[in-house]
Amino acid sequence: MMNQYVIKGGNPLVGEVDISGAKNAALPILAAAIMPDETVVIENLPDVTDIQAILMAIESVGAQVTRLDRHTVKINGSHISDYRIDGDYIRKIRASYYLLGALLGKIHKAEVVYPGGCNIGLRPIDQHIKGFQGLGAEVELPHGRVYAYADKLTGGHIYMDVVSVGATMNVILASVMAEGTTIIENAAKEPHIVDLANFLNSCGASIRGAGTDVIRIKGVQRLHGTEYTIIPDQIEAGTYMFGAAVTKGDVVVKNVIPKHLESISAKLIEMGCEVEEGDDWVRVVASKPLKRTNVKTLPYPGFPTDMQPQMTTLLALSQGTSIVTETIFETRFKYVAELRRMGANITIEGNAAFITGVEGFTGADVSAPDLRAGAALVMAGLSAEGFTYVDQIHYIERGYERFEKKIRGLGGRIEKIDSDDDREIRKFQMKVS
C-alpha cells in the first residue's frame, strides 16, 4: 500500500499544536542508552519511523527494549551480545552511524551497514572515521559496511575539518568511557548535541562544553542508569511556524524551547510576521503581505538546513526576489521542480535558489523527495488553490509525528489515503469541496 496526502488548500492554519520530542536528539540518545549496564528510561520520544528503526537495531544486538507508552521506552544494555547491525530497516536511516560510536565505546567493536538517510548530498563520514582513529580505533570499510574496533580507546585531541553534527556526537559516544580526556575542536553546537551530553552526564559521564565549539570529555569507567526527557523538536516546531506564515494563519507551537527557534523567528519577523514568545511557546501570526529576504543555511546558531525547503516555499509567496543559499548539503534543492508545478518561480544556480514571489500556488501532483522537502510541499499544498496530492510520504513519516492529525487540529484539510483508493479520494474531495 502506498499512501499519499491529499490536501485541499485555502484554509489558514489556526490554533495550537503540541511539538514532539526531537528526532535528531532521540536517535543518538537511544544509541547511547545501550552503553550503561543499568536500565535507562527515556521520555518524550517522537513516535516516528526513524525511531522505530533505531529501536529495532539496538534490540538486534541484545539490548532489552520495553515500550512503556507511545513516547516512553525502557532500555537495558547489560547483555549486549552482538556488534554487527544489518537489515533493511537500518539501511534507510542515517543515524545508524551512532551505533558505531556507541558499540565501539562500550564493547570496542562495531560493524554497521554504511549509513543511508535522505538523499540530499554526498554525506561522507570521513570525520566520524577520523574521530574514531583519533581515539586509537582501527576502521575498515568492508563491502558496504563500516567496521571499527580497538583493544583500548584512549582520549585524543580531535580537530574536525568540517562542523558535523553526526561526527561530533559519534566522538562523544566513542570517548565517554575511553581512558583519559578527549577534546573535540570545531564541534557542532546544535541543541541536540547538548541533549546527548546532558543525557550521558546524567548517566555519570563527564562532558563539558557541549553547545560551544570545544567539547571536553573525561573518560569514566562505567555509566549508570537514569531517567531522561528528550528536548522538543526545533525543526518540527519551525515547520508549523512556517505553516502559519504560508497559509496566513495564526499558530501557537507549544512545548518548545523558544531559544532554539531564534534563527527561525528572526527570519519570520524580517518577512513581516508577528512572533510572540512565552516560556515554552511561540506564536506566529501572518496577517500582512510577506516581504523578501535572503537566507544562508549554516550550522547552529545559524539558519538550519533542515528549514531550507520550508523557507524557500515561503519566499516563493513573498513580494520581490529572494536568494536562499544552501551551504551544508549539495543537492538539497530537488523539491524545487515540484514547487514549480504548483506555480513557484524559482531558478537554481549552483548552491543558490533565486526566488521571485508569486501571488499564490495552485494544487498539483507532487512527490516528496526527502523528509523536510516533503513537509514543505505539504505546507505549500495547504496554501494552494485546489487539491494537492503528495506521494512518497514515507519520507515525511520518518520525522513528523501524526503529521496529518496535527495539521487537521489546526484546521488544515488533509487526509492520508492509499494512492489506489479512488473511492476514498473522491469521498475526501466531496467532504471538503
| Least Cβ distance, residue 330 to ligand EPU (angstroms) | 7
In degrees and rounded to multiples of 5, residue 395 shows phi and psi of: -60, -45
51 is a contact residue toward ligand EPU (CB under 6 A): no
187 is a contact residue toward ligand EPU (CB under 6 A): no
Binders in 90-109 for ligand EPU, by CB under 6 A: 94-95
Cβ burial of 43 (10 Å; 0-12, 13-18, 19+) is: middle
Q: Decide: 149 and 108 in contact? Cβ < 8 Å.
A: yes
Return the C-alpha cell found at 201: 552526564
Q: Of 30, 399, 404, 413, which one interacts with ligand EPU (CB under 6 A)?
A: 399
According to DSSP, residue 11 is labeled P
236 is a contact residue toward ligand EPU (CB under 6 A): no
Cα 223 → chain centroid:
27
203 catalytic per annotation: no
- Name which of 106 and 128 has its Cβ closer to ligand EPU: 128
Q: Of 183, 371, 390, 410, which one interacts with ligand EPU (CB under 6 A)?
A: 371
Q: Which is the catalytic residue, given 118, 275, 317, 417?
A: 118
Q: Decide: 116 and 92 in contact? Cβ < 8 Å.
A: yes
- Name which of 194 and 252 has its Cβ closer to ligand EPU: 194
Q: Of 27, 112, 245, 290, which one interacts with ligand EPU (CB under 6 A)?
A: 27
Partners of 40 in the beta sheet? 75, 226
| Least Cβ distance, residue 328 to ligand EPU (angstroms) | 5
241 is a contact residue toward ligand EPU (CB under 6 A): no
Cα 157 → chain centroid:
28
CA distance 157 to 134: 7
- Name which of 173 and 188 has its Cβ closer to ligand EPU: 188
128 is a contact residue toward ligand EPU (CB under 6 A): yes
Q: Of 113, 177, 316, 328, which one interacts with ligand EPU (CB under 6 A)?
A: 328
126 is a contact residue toward ligand EPU (CB under 6 A): yes
- Apex 399 CA angle, 243 and 117, nearest 5: 125
Which region, judged by CB under 6 A, interacts with ligand EPU, from 52-60, 126-134, 247-255, 410-418? 126-134
266 is a contact residue toward ligand EPU (CB under 6 A): no
20 is a contact residue toward ligand EPU (CB under 6 A): no
According to DSSP, residue 231 is labeled P
- Name which of 167 and 275 has its Cβ closer to ligand EPU: 167
Q: Decide: 21 and 71 in contact? Cβ < 8 Å.
A: yes
297 is a contact residue toward ligand EPU (CB under 6 A): no
**How many angstroms separate the most distant Cα atoms in the chain?**
67
Binders in 160-179 for ligand EPU, by CB under 6 A: 162, 164-167
- Name which of 1 and 122 has its Cβ closer to ligand EPU: 122
The secondary structure of 311-348 as a DSSP string is: HHHHHTTSBSEEEEE--S-TTTTTTHHHHHHTT-EEEE
| Least Cβ distance, residue 355 to ligand EPU (angstroms) | 21
In degrees and rounded to multiples of 5, residue 152 shows phi and psi of: -150, 140
- Name which of 30 and 178 has its Cβ closer to ligand EPU: 30
The secondary structure of 112-148 as a DSSP string is: EEPP----SS----HHHHHHHHHTT-EEE--TTEEEE
372 is a contact residue toward ligand EPU (CB under 6 A): yes
Q: Decide: 217 and 206 in contact? Cβ < 8 Å.
A: yes
CA distance 398 to 95: 12
**Residue numbers at the binding site for ligand EPU (CB under 6 A):** 24, 27, 94-95, 118, 121-128, 162, 164-167, 188, 305-306, 328-329, 371-372, 399
- Catalytic residue ranges: 118
